[in-house]
């Protein structure tokens, strides 16, 4: 998961914003302003943001709607 979001050989130690791929940087801006807002240091990427970035970049909306419908059908 980290290899898809970050540049090669940059996932050791702290996860920094400057080491993100371009697509992930754009999605992180969206996340920090709309999904998981924060005021503090924005140079590091938090683990919560990694999971949200991965989900936003890999899961299609149709798939997520279908999985919710399947979950609701199973819970009945």
Tens place of pLDDT for every residue, the chain, 76 residues?
788 788 888 888 888 999 999 999 998 888 888 878 888 788 888 888 888 888 888 776 555 555 656 666 776 6
Report the 10 Å Cβ neighbour count for 25: 15
Q: Which pLDDT value is given to residue 20?
A: 92
Q: Which pLDDT value is given to residue 63?
A: 53
Q: Which pLDDT value is given to residue 9?
A: 86
Q: Which pLDDT value is given to residue 48?
A: 82
Residues in the chain: 76
Backbone angles phi, psi at 55, to 5 degrees: -65, -45
Name, in order, each residue with C-beta under 8 angstroms of 14's C-beta and a sequence gap of 6 or more: 44
Domain that holds residue 69: 2-75
Burial bucket for residue 10 (CB in 10 Å: 0-12, 13-18, 19+): middle
pTM recorded for the entire structure: 0.65
Count of domains forming the chain: 1
């Amino acid at each position: 998961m980290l290899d898809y979001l970050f540049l090669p050989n940059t996932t050791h130690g702290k996860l920094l914003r400057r080491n993100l791929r371009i697509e992930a940087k754009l999605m992180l801006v969206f996340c920090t302003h709309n999904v998981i807002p924060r005021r503090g240091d924005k140079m590091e990427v938090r683990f919560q943001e990694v999971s949200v970035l991965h989900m936003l970049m890999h899961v299609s909306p149709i798939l997520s709607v279908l999985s919710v419908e399947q979950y609701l059908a199973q819970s009945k």
